[in-house]
Chains A and B, each alone.
With several copies, the nearest count.
Chain A
């Protein structure tokens, strides 16, 4: 069975709404755009809203704390800027502030990333903001199957989960098969010996392409797809770098205080003895997203840049400390 990530999201929603009548789906136009879901589950559980992201997110938090399990679609990541208080200060903190009296089983859906030419007020990769904030979980899949499994896991989770869909991947055909995927587990998309490429969302594809090019040069690259950004699967990352001794973190989001900074810092702290070379980051620039096609296509790091960086890294490397120690 084939389908896109968009289909997978709809399937996961339908699966969970069938399984658990507490799950509701709310947002600007969700009942119109997901007509099949609206038909099956009805107007009480599938709700269009006025145009007001803040109250959509606040309604979800209030409903989550009192027995429902809302999934809200805020459409595009920059629109979350209108809902930061409800997501961060309410859903993320009121469990703690109240001494554990409440929990917030809710999911926030949003699209982001280059691919649609819609510009910086529709496209801004801000997943790192939520990883930095307490009480929240963050998911950003790269395949339809992961989208389906991770969205189901997110809906079943008792914490607020931010689910970001990469716009460039949303309508790419794939196989949204129905496997359970726990939050917090990275996937090794391609095993390798010489260098670890850590990524998520659209740049996973660029890493796999780069790995093909590198293979031609006799460099064996391992590609890790984080899938879940928070909680972060540190074990998988560290185990890989312990084997390869080299790491490059790749994502579309901008560099400073991004997910790549976190991954690089974890490696520098916990895999230091295994490192044979500097930990590199390849990211989008410190700039808003341009609308113009040519500029937008140049925003996220591509396979060529990744392969070049990996080659340089593999040339300029030394033996890991643990071996040097015996030297």
Chain B
């Protein structure tokens, strides 16, 4: 990443963080239901999504705000969806857990863990049969990697040569269960070998490293025609779902990762390299704050869906 791109990445990561903090505040003040925030995972989202072309597609899950905002989704319509309003991306029918934005190629978002893994093969098959170049990125967690659908999906994609960038965002937690309680191996990227495809693991808190790894993976998919399994090693800095006091989290583990906050480290590096002035940073802060204030304002003013919506969009 160029310094310029890194600065843009920092601002987008700050936008994601601010969005999540706003969602938390709204939940705490009873203005919105709980959400699964991506606090701490912003680098993984921006690093991968910015490696995609506008024609590539994305499948994501319950922890999607980072992917959506990295892709350029409108914070106002995301916030409206979280608050269940008519102007939300899904008219309020989804809420925060499965926000799709077809116009941006963010497709079939599911909160069933493993749902995206079950659907992405079909999305990639369409792309392949319609002779559309590019890839489909599929974001899922370390928990989803324990579901049988992970096995079925990666294996089918390998056998059928589907252009899928599997992105396992390993944040060490599966709701209230630590990843180490659920698997004996450390690196999910290594599982690629079991399917005869390539894989890699990257520091998910270093946006530049993630971006490079994602671009290399996409190049590899173009070369081999096969899917690629990329693991971004990161950490869930807030609880699983608001509210969650994380009393069950080892404080040492948490502080270890707090010290590796992807936003703080990126900012520090940019400043150290002389690519970011305090003024630059303040300007970013201001723009981000304004965008999120607008989003909240927009969502608050958006009407509730009309009751007639209860039974629309069931059948085509």
Determine whether the beta carbon of B143 is less than 8 Å from that of A51: yes
Minimum CB–CB distance for A37 against chain B, Å: 14
List residues of chain A with CB within 8 A of the CB of B248. 32
List residues of chain A with CB within 8 A of the CB of B121. 55, 58-59, 62
Determine whether the beta carbon of A52 is less than 8 Å from that of B84: no
Is B85 an interface residue, CB under 8 A from the partner? yes
Please measure, in the bound complex, the distance between the C-alpha atom of A288 and the C-alpha atom of B112, giving whole angstroms.
14
List residues of chain B with CB within 8 A of the CB of A32. 176-177, 248
Residue of B nearest to A294 (CB): B304
List residues of chain B with CB within 8 A of the CB of A299. 310
Given A98-B90, A292-B85, A117 contacting B33 (CB threshold 8 A): yes
Is B189 an interface residue, CB under 8 A from the partner? no
Is A41 an interface residue, CB under 8 A from the partner? no
List residues of chain A with CB within 8 A of the CB of B309. 290, 295
Is A126 an interface residue, CB under 8 A from the partner? no
Determine whether the beta carbon of B122 is less than 8 Å from that of A291: no
Minimum CB–CB distance for A131 against chain B, Å: 14
A-B contact count (CB 8 A): 257
Contact of A292 among B93, B98, B149, B182 (CB under 8 A): B93
List residues of chain A with CB within 8 A of the CB of B152. 50, 52, 54-55
Contact of A94 among B108, B130, B176 (CB under 8 A): B108
Given A68-B129, A99-B91, A294-B307, A119 contacting B112 (CB threshold 8 A): no
Q: List which B210-250 residues lie within 8 A (CB) of chain A.
A: 248
Determine whether the beta carbon of B112 is less than 8 Å from that of A298: no
B17-48: CB near A (< 8 Å → 1, else 0) gives 00000000000000001000000000000000
List residues of chain A with CB within 8 A of the CB of B114. 82, 85
Minimum CB–CB distance for B195 against chain A, Å: 11
Please measure, in the bound complex, the distance between the C-alpha atom of A77 and the C-alpha atom of B181, giving whole angstroms.
24
Is A258 an interface residue, CB under 8 A from the partner? no
Determine whether the beta carbon of A52 is less than 8 Å from that of B147: yes
List residues of chain B with CB within 8 A of the CB of A159. 315-316
Contact of B175 among A29, A117, A135 (CB under 8 A): A29
Determine whether the beta carbon of A119 is less than 8 Å from that of B111: yes
Please measure, in the bound complex, the distance between the C-alpha atom of A294 and the C-alpha atom of B83, giving whole angstroms.
11
Please measure, in the bound complex, the distance between the C-alpha atom of A100 and the C-alpha atom of B87, giving whole angstroms.
14
Is A327 an interface residue, CB under 8 A from the partner? no
List residues of chain B with CB within 8 A of the CB of A94. 98, 100, 108, 110
Determine whether the beta carbon of A99 is less than 8 Å from that of B313: yes
Minimum CB–CB distance for B83 against chain A, Å: 8
Is A63 an interface residue, CB under 8 A from the partner? yes
Given A28-B175, A51-B174, A291 contacting B84 (CB threshold 8 A): yes
B94-126: CB near A (< 8 Å → 1, else 0) gives 111110101000011111111101111111111
Contact of B305 among A66, A287, A292 (CB under 8 A): A292
Is A103 an interface residue, CB under 8 A from the partner? yes
List residues of chain B with CB within 8 A of the CB of A134. 314
- The number of residues on chain B lying at the interface, defined by a beta carbon within 8 Å of a beta carbon of chain A, is 69
Residue of B nearest to A49 (CB): B156
Please measure, in the bound complex, the distance between the C-alpha atom of A99 and the C-alpha atom of B313, giving whole angstroms.
6
Residue of A nearest to B98 (CB): A97
List residues of chain A with CB within 8 A of the CB of B92. 99, 290-292, 295
Please measure, in the bound complex, the distance between the C-alpha atom of A94 and the C-alpha atom of B316, giving whole angstroms.
12
Minimum CB–CB distance for A33 against chain B, Å: 6
Given A105-B316, A119-B95, A288-B314, A51 contacting B177 (CB threshold 8 A): yes
List residues of chain A with CB within 8 A of the CB of B129. 24, 44-45, 68
Is A96 an interface residue, CB under 8 A from the partner? yes
Is B267 an interface residue, CB under 8 A from the partner? no
A35-49: CB near B (< 8 Å → 1, else 0) gives 000000000110111
List residues of chain B with CB within 8 A of the CB of A104. 316
B273-316: CB near A (< 8 Å → 1, else 0) gives 00000000000000000000000000000001101011111111
B54-88: CB near A (< 8 Å → 1, else 0) gives 00000000000000000000000000000011001
Please measure, in the bound complex, the distance between the C-alpha atom of A7 and the C-alpha atom of B94, giving whole angstroms.
30
List residues of chain B with CB within 8 A of the CB of A98. 90, 93-94, 98, 100, 102, 108-109, 313
Is A190 an interface residue, CB under 8 A from the partner? no
Minimum CB–CB distance for A229 against chain B, Å: 15
Please measure, in the bound complex, the distance between the C-alpha atom of A272 and the C-alpha atom of B5, giving whole angstroms.
72
Residue of A nearest to B93 (CB): A290
Determine whether the beta carbon of A89 is less than 8 Å from that of B115: yes
Determine whether the beta carbon of B95 is less than 8 Å from that of A291: yes
Is B166 an interface residue, CB under 8 A from the partner? no
Is A3 an interface residue, CB under 8 A from the partner? no
Given A63-B122, A89-B115, A97-B93, A52 contacting B156 (CB threshold 8 A): yes
Is A171 an interface residue, CB under 8 A from the partner? no
Residue of B nearest to A65 (CB): B108
Residue of B nearest to A86 (CB): B118
Determine whether the beta carbon of A50 is less than 8 Å from that of B311: no
Please measure, in the bound complex, the distance between the C-alpha atom of A137 and the C-alpha atom of B279, giving whole angstroms.
60
Instruction: Sample 23 A-B pairs with CB under 8 A, ordered by A number.
Output: A28-B176, A49-B177, A50-B181, A55-B152, A55-B156, A58-B118, A65-B107, A81-B112, A85-B149, A90-B118, A96-B93, A97-B100, A99-B89, A99-B90, A101-B100, A119-B95, A121-B97, A285-B311, A287-B314, A290-B305, A290-B309, A291-B33, A293-B33
A interface list, Cβ under 8 A from B: 24, 28-29, 32-33, 44-45, 47-52, 54-55, 57-68, 70, 78-79, 81-82, 85-86, 89-90, 94-105, 116-122, 134-135, 158-159, 285-288, 290-295, 298-299
Apart from A94-B98, A294-B305, 14 more pairs, CB < 8 Å: A28-B175, A29-B177, A59-B121, A59-B125, A60-B122, A62-B122, A64-B122, A65-B119, A66-B122, A68-B129, A90-B108, A117-B33, A292-B84, A295-B305
| Shortest Cβ-Cβ A-B pairs, 10 listed | A62-B122, A291-B95, A58-B118, A292-B84, A29-B176, A292-B92, A63-B122, A55-B152, A51-B143, A158-B316
